[in-house]
Copies of this chain bind each other. A is one copy, B any other.
Amino acid sequence: MIDPRDFGIDNLPLGIVADDAGRARPAVAYRDLVVDLDALVHARAIDEQSLADASSLNAFLGRGPAAWTALRARLQHLLGERASAEERRAVAAASHPHGALHARMPVQVGDYVDFYSSLEHATSLGRILRPGGEPLPPNYRHIPIGYHGRSGTVVISETPIRRPAGQTKAGDAAAPEFGPSQMLDVELEMGWIAGPGNALGAPIPADAVREHVYGYVLLNDWSARDIQGWEYQPLGPFLSKSFATSISPWIVSLEALEPFRVAEPPREPEPLRYLRASQPFAYDVELDLLLLTRAMAERGDPPFHVSRTNLRGMYWTVAQQLAHVTANGATIRPGDLFGTGTISGFEPGTQGSLIERTWRGRDPLALPGGETRAFLENGDTAIVRGRAVRGDLRIGFGEVVGTIVA
């Protein structure tokens, strides 16, 4: 569902769309329209050749911040009141209603890293999974903990999510079993997407965010909690996550989000020097998690509001994640995707996963029509929406949606 207020002249997020014949091209979302950037290049209305005949934004992301800023300024001119009659004709010829084109993956993801940067999420998960123990691991306040996910199964919003099968073992069972996951969960996250990248062995400093990060999408890192619990020792989550990760179609640039850059939460102890940036890099983005069951959809009910949370409270920011992931000399490449980790608060109704929201099923959601949910059932649709709002200024992300199929 498109909310045209999300995509005003101050936003101009980029994506890839395809027509019914399957031809993909880069585009910008503007109000209730999708404007074909390939068409604008061929009409000589814009001069960013990396967008010509492109089926992903990787080449454009590799061009770096000067090109990003120039394109944004040019599009604001073309879509604004000072465009010439000829420019307006070019834009009109390149514009389509959202429904006429299909969103595709905006980038070809090279590597996908998922962080674990909400202290509240990590604490709650520790309490649920290791009751009585210390909830946070000892490294938590020192390291932006993360791990590599499967880049080949990052999918675009609206891709159906097949319930994964896998090995699970009940605590009291003698042996594991293989079958469909019974604890299928969401993880409400955002993801940042890398720009030009670095050479092998050349770390990126925390202050270089604007040179190396193009922008953010919404991200749902689907998780099979029963598979995760049995597999994750000692090398971390694997098949419990690798079946699918969904992202929203439109990448919102850091430049558009600049008015929403806010102070970071306090940290104690102070992080090591390589994790310190000279400016704050928290962003004030409101996020909602919603759930629509098949029965609710058949009745025409609106989605149930599960949680509301905000990116701004994350313990580790994009600057620290960027510095950390390259501190050992590892490269990042244009189009690489970095999940923030599940974004949660402690208060009821602020958690970004069902395992936290229902305390592993102890407190199921009571849905309209008498249904309850601890975890996702077949036919359920999970929706994440996000936007940054201050007064009249609204920078929206749209939504990332997925429906569970058997």
Contacts and interface: CB of A to CB of B under 8 A. Distances in A.
23 contacts: A111-B150, A111-B151, A139-B169, A139-B176, A139-B233, A142-B167, A147-B235, A147-B236, A148-B148, A148-B150, A148-B238, A153-B200, A165-B203, A165-B327, A166-B328, A176-B272, A177-B272, A178-B327, A200-B244, A224-B328, A235-B236, A239-B328, A239-B330
A329 B243 contact: yes
Given A147-B147, A175-B269, A239 B152 contact: no
Interface in A212-243: 224, 227, 230-240, 242-243
Name the residue among A165, A201, A272 with the largest chain B CB count within 10 angstroms.
Answer: A201
Interface stretch (A293-301, A331-339, A346-354, A395-403): A331-339
Interface of A: 110-111, 116, 137-139, 142-143, 145-153, 155, 159, 162, 164-167, 169, 175-178, 200-201, 203, 224, 227, 230-240, 242-244, 269, 272-274, 324-325, 327-333, 336
Given A230-B139, A272-B176, A328-B164, A149 B148 contact: yes
A153 B332 CA distance: 9
Given A142-B175, A234-B232, A332 B272 contact: no
A326 to B, nearest CB: 9
Given A155-B200, A233-B139, A274-B178, A330 B243 contact: yes
Contacts of A149: 148
Nearest to A272: B178
Nearest to A129: B234
A356 to B, nearest CB: 16
Contact of A238 (B142, B146, B273): B146
Contacts of A164: 328-329
